[in-house]
Amino acid sequence: MSVLRMLYLGLAIWGAVHPMAYFAAWLGRNGFDITAMITAWHANAATSGLVWDLTIAAIALTVWIIAEVSVRRNFLALIALPATFLIGVSCGLPLYLFLRTRPV
């Protein structure tokens, strides 16, 4: 495995673990309350801006993944879509790059 692929994989793992530590801490204090979490995401203009930034990035990544998968037929790369929306762009993007750069 190339150094670049190992870097992508490491970033995908970090992008899954690090943000989840914050979500887990929040869920530990507040329980599984999606409404409260969405309210917290929009607590002020800075957090709302960040939420929209990540949402737009996730949509752009989704379009890119679907467009490339339809051409390259690398269907395994579709696993980056649930990773993006269930974990975050910080996991989905490097995971997709890891899967995209595998030898064919």
pLDDT at 61: 98
| Confidence at 103, pLDDT banded by 50, 70, 90 | confident
Question: Residue 23: how many CB atoms within 10 A of its CB?
Answer: 12
Is 104's pLDDT higher than 80? no
Ranges of H-type helices in 1-104: 3-30, 34-41, 45-72, 80-86, 89-100
Contact 18, 93 (CB under 8 A): no
Q: Measured between alpha carbons, how far is 77 from 70 in angstroms, rounded to an integer?
A: 11
pLDDT digits (tens, 9 = 90+) for 69-96: 999 999 999 999 999 999 999 999 999 9
Q: Measured between alpha carbons, how far is 74 from 70 in angstroms, rounded to an integer?
A: 8
Indicate the pTM of the whole model: 0.89
